[in-house]
Amino acid sequence: MDRQVLVGRVGELLAHPPAVVLLDGAAGLGRSWFAAQVRAASRARVRVLVGCRGLPAEPHVLLREVVRGLVEAGCDPVLGRTVLAAVSRRAPSAYRICLALRELLADAGTALLVLDDLDQADRCSREVLRCAATRLPPGVGLLITAPPQARWVPGHRVELTALTPAEVAELARERHGSAPAHWVAELHRLTGGIPLLLTEVLDRTHPDDQDPAGTLVSTGLPRSVLELAAARLTKLPAADRSVVRVAALLRDPVNATVLTRAGLARAAGALDRALDTGLLAVRVDGRFEFRPPLLGLAVAATMPLARRRSAHRALARVLDGPERIHHCRAAGDLAEAARHAERTTRTGAPATAVGPLRDLLGEAGLPRRVRATLAGRLGRLTAGGWSGQDTVTLLRELVADEQLPAGVHGELRLHLGLLLANQAGDADAGRTEMVRAVGELRRRPALAARAISALALPHLGAAPVAEHLRWLAELDRVGPPRVDPLLRTAIEVNRATALLQLGDPRAWSALPTTGPRLELQRGRLNFTDAAITLGHHRSAAGFLAAAEVSAAPYLAQVAETNRLRLALVTGNWTGLAERVRAHLAAGPHNPRSAAESRLVLARLALAAGDWPAAEDLLAGPGWCGSAVFAVAATRIRLATAQGQPADPDSALKLVRGKGVWVWAAELVDAGVEALLAQGESGAARELLAEFAAGIAGRDCPLGEAVLCHGQGLLDAENAVDLLTAAAAGFAALPRPYEQARALEALARRLFTLGARAQAGQRVAEAVRLFGGLGAGWDVARCERLLREHFGAPGGGPGRRGYGGALSPREQEVARLITTGRTNREIAALLFLSPRTVERHVANLLRKLDARTRTEITLPT
């Protein structure tokens, strides 16, 4: 529950005195803050808050503080002295003191007494207050805060819980302005949602941190966290503390067996006893974990360095894989860590080996030869895993290391270039590195061929197609290596990708079908991307299905992005927006995947008539490759829809500079329509002729359909045949949205020829397609076309009545009202007159029993 809401709820309970409210919650959840908020919001004449933490343990100290607070707040000082006199008797009676305290409270009239951390108060005061709480005078409210296990007096019990991930995200945005989902999830995991800990962590981390825990350890843990961990440790015997400290060095949940094998004979008992201190909790699987994990980091930090290294060494002997590398490195045994890292890269999952290798290569004491070997392995492992900026930075540092051999430099530069181009979103910088790598790899021809094959890919950078063709010819000259199956398949994949991206018919016979699984997965995702752009949607679906689900994070992201793009173009829009948002929220993305996912949302927003949302989504960064032209096409359609001038020239300059016209089908389609809407038919003809020449001899089904559509818009005499063919061409791909647009254009031409019946049928088909997609704005435009030619539908027998329910049109108007649209904007979006919209709004107010349009909501 929202904390301010909870403050109001407690205030309501105390607003009907006499009342006792017990607020419990674990340390750090903000009990003291909450108590102060309740006191500040109270309307009682006397409001007193007494904190019990830090008071001496001698008898009746808290009671004296309560009396002093009440008198200072306006209660009768004579009655106050009566209470203190009863306390000062040689044998004070708790009952007499209680009676005197009740008289003092009654004198206040209306009063709120807040006792914060009552568990810290002296026993005698608690005994008196327990008596008084069961016999409060009228008008007095008592709020007590204490840990959950405290049971002092009967009353309304309110539990203060940890912050939810959504609340953590809100606080993070307030502090830093942004809150990436993966960062928020890690903050919530580290702190357990405890406000005190979260505040400290937010002061020391940033949304760009890929490893907030590592940042906290390297920069120093907050003092409050260290003190909390130390306080809980002191509750354990010395032997148990040693066990818990070693357990804190484990990055995974704690297994007592592992600690026993590491030489801690009584580990199980020590862990059980640590549960009572609040340091550890038991998981469902029976293992232990520090809760929250931030406390584990603090416990580990309390170990002296020598003992910590000794413990890491013991743990390394009983663990394997990345954990063994981690503990060897933490123990200072770099040679041993390197040996296990080498073995892990050969036998383990690549995604699990990248992190340990990257950390190990950051060690200044690593021998030169070992560094060269591990650096090469790291570069090869980054091909399929999302490696982040840390790996890019490390590769830059390694490339600058003059002690490494030229061949190693070249290999590392190749992998750096691939990372920059594929994952960091800087294709031109990546190409620059790969061109240099070709020169450095003169004595390693297989790797040089790998670099050449990457330089042949048209989507990497803004270089003209002639340059890619030169690299492609060079690749055909040197041929793929025969000794390394991984390199050979990677080169074959790149060659086929280059041909497919160019729309070269030879691509289909060049697709590799055998080879290492990871490279085949990468290839199939490349082929999916190119096939979607060209219009080979069924082939794209086949490639995507064959790619399976990759364990490599980067490839998994690309696969999901391609699924979303394919769903958009083939018309599978049901739930698509939710899928895209879930994909974007799932974790860190490479810039291209994130941008292409936003483009899907922008296209959906445009079709729904939500133009501001579409504009915001198109404004983001990360556009590259063929997506640049798809984005330009969407911007042109957005401007045209709003009746604004659209200038395709800037995007067309990029097409001409690149020379890959098969990527420009959507751009040309939108550009021709925009130019015609602006009365520039001559420019539209020139553009279409240039496009026709650009895709001549290329395998681009989408381009052929777009060409037919554009010719139908320009050639009035043959428009019916051309637009019919265009609709059929789009349907064959399939591209139902474009098919519906072609049918709409066909209907408009038929209306001008007087063929009203045929035109009406084509419009009806377009409405069916648009409606099935959920393209509400396009449906409204077609309905206006029908009204223009057939008149408004009458109220005769065939028309359905909705009674008190909302009609589909009223639902659409209500939806737009809830987004803040004015009547004039709604009229433009739905192609209605302002008077018609006013009538719909009046019906909505009546049917929904709303007084103003701000009260209009969509019924569930």
Residues 147-176: tens digit of each pLDDT: 876 666 778 888 888 888 888 888 888 888
Cis bond upstream, residue 356 (ω within 30): no
Give the SS3 label for residue 48: strand
Residue 594 lies in a domain: no
Residues 660-683: tens digit of each pLDDT: 999 999 999 999 999 999 999 999
Residue 550: is its pLDDT beyond 70? no
- To the nearest 10°, the Cα dihedral for 225, 228, 233, 236? -160
Nearest to 31 by CA among 59, 48, 9, 6: 6
Do β-strands 288-290 and 280-282 pair in parallel, antiparallel, or remain unpaired? Answer: antiparallel
Decide: 520 and 555 in contact? Cβ < 8 Å. no
Nearest to 55 by CA among 123, 101, 128, 122: 122
Residues 120 and 171 in one domain: no
Instruction: Write down the pLDDT at residue 548.
Output: 75
Exposed/middle/buried for residue 149 (C-beta within 10 Å: 0-12, 13-18, 19+)? exposed
Q: How many CB atoms lie within 10 A of CB 443?
A: 11
Give the lowest-confidence range in 107-111, 266-270, 361-365: 361-365
Residues 212-241: tens digit of each pLDDT: 888 898 888 988 889 889 989 999 999 999
Do β-strands 111-116 and 46-51 pair in parallel, antiparallel, or remain unpaired? Answer: parallel
Q: Which residues pair with 115 in a beta bridge?
A: 50, 144
Instruction: Write down the pLDDT at residue 794.
Output: 40
d(CA 182, CA 184): 6
Residues 74 and 205 in one domain: no
Decide: 329 and 366 in contact? Cβ < 8 Å. no
Q: How far apart are the first and last CA of the chain?
A: 24
Residue 119 lies in a domain: yes
- Residues belonging to the chain: 860
Tokens of 460: 């990497």
User: CA triplet 606, 608, 614: central angle to 5 degrees?
Assistant: 30
Decide: 382 and 391 in contact? Cβ < 8 Å. yes
d(CA 316, CA 336): 10
3-state SS of 338-363 is: HHHHHHHHHHCCHHHHHHHHHHHHCC
Instruction: Write down the pLDDT at residue 384.
Output: 53
Q: Which residues lie below 8 Å from residue 78, measured CB to CB, with a gap of 6+?
A: none
Decide: 454 and 494 in contact? Cβ < 8 Å. yes
pLDDT band with cut points at 50, 70 and 90 for residue 739: very high
Residue 547 lies in a domain: no
Instruction: Write down the pLDDT at residue 404.
Output: 77
Nearest to 107 by CA among 21, 48, 40: 48
The percentage of the chain sitting over the pLDDT mark of 70, rounded to a whole number, equals: 94
Instruction: Write down the pLDDT at residue 850.
Output: 78
**Cα within 13 Å of Cα(513), Cβ side:** 4
Q: Which residues pair with 254 in a beta bridge?
A: 288
Residues 11 and 32 in one domain: yes
Phi, psi (rounded to 5 degrees) for 461: 95, 175
Highest mean pLDDT among 45-54, 362-371, 684-693: 684-693
Nearest to 23 by CA among 184, 142, 134: 142
* Helix, strand, coil share of the chain (percent; to 5): 65, 5, 30
Domain residue limits at 55 = 3-159
Give the SS3 label for residue 733: coil
Instruction: Write down the pLDDT at residue 458.
Output: 94
Residues 181-207: tens digit of each pLDDT: 888 889 999 998 888 888 889 888 988
DSSP state of 856: -
Residues 138 and 12 in one domain: yes
Residues 85-132: tens digit of each pLDDT: 999 988 889 999 999 999 999 988 888 999 988 888 999 999 999 899
Number of domains in the chain: 3
Nearest to 264 by CA among 252, 277, 254: 254
Residues 27-69: tens digit of each pLDDT: 777 788 888 888 888 888 888 899 988 899 889 999 999 999 9
Nearest to 556 by CA among 322, 393, 351: 351
User: CA triplet 188, 191, 192: central angle to 5 degrees?
Assistant: 70
Residues 45 and 121 in one domain: yes
d(CA 215, CA 222): 12
Phi, psi (rounded to 5 degrees) for 797: -60, -30
pLDDT band with cut points at 50, 70 and 90 for residue 709: very high
How large is the greatest C-alpha to C-alpha distance in the chain, in angstroms?
A: 116
Residue 133 lies in a domain: yes
Position with higher pLDDT, 527 vs 378: 527
Position with higher pLDDT, 242 vs 393: 242
Q: How many CB atoms lie within 10 A of CB 805?
A: 10
Q: How many CB atoms lie within 10 A of CB 222?
A: 18
Residue 801: is its pLDDT beyond 80? no
Instruction: Write down the pLDDT at residue 348.
Output: 57
Q: Which residues pair with 116 in a beta bridge?
A: 51
Instruction: Write down the pLDDT at residue 824.
Output: 81
Residue 834 lies in a domain: yes
Residues 206 and 134 in one domain: no
Instruction: Write down the pLDDT at residue 641.
Output: 87
Residue 44 lies in a domain: yes
Query: Mean pLDDT, to the nearest integer, of 297-317?
Result: 93
Give the lowest-confidence range in 135-144, 339-348, 421-430: 339-348
Q: Which residues pair with 156 in a beta bridge?
A: 21
Give the lowest-confidence range in 90-104, 142-156, 561-575, 731-745: 142-156
Residue 745: is its pLDDT beyond 90? yes
Residues 168 and 31 in one domain: no
Residue 77 lies in a domain: yes
d(CA 796, CA 800): 9
Residues 101 and 173 in one domain: no
- To the question of pTM greater than 0.75 for the whole model, the response is no
d(CA 188, CA 177): 17
Give the lowest-confidence range in 149-163, 348-362, 581-595, 807-821: 348-362
Residue 515 lies in a domain: no
Residues 92 and 180 in one domain: no
Residues 60 and 151 in one domain: yes
Residues 48 and 169 in one domain: no
pLDDT band with cut points at 50, 70 and 90 for residue 797: very low
d(CA 313, CA 310): 5
Nearest to 669 by CA among 695, 722, 708: 708
DSSP state of 207: T
Q: How many CB atoms lie within 10 A of CB 650?
A: 9
Instruction: Write down the pLDDT at residue 661.
Output: 97
* Mean residue pLDDT across the chain: 87
Decide: 860 and 814 in contact? Cβ < 8 Å. no
Nearest to 634 by CA among 674, 661, 588, 680: 674
Q: Which residues lie below 8 Å from residue 84, measured CB to CB, with a gap of 6+?
A: 64, 67
Residues 450-495: tens digit of each pLDDT: 999 999 999 988 899 999 999 999 998 887 777 788 889 999 999 9
Instruction: Write down the pLDDT at residue 799.
Output: 47
Residues 116 and 211 in one domain: no
> DSSP secondary structure string, 3-39?
HHHHHHHHHHHHTSSSEEEEEE--TTS-HHHHHHHHH
pLDDT band with cut points at 50, 70 and 90 for residue 388: low
Nearest to 664 by CA among 722, 711, 712, 703: 703
**CATH number for position 841:** 1.10.10.10
Give the lowest-confidence range in 51-65, 273-287, 355-369, 766-780: 355-369
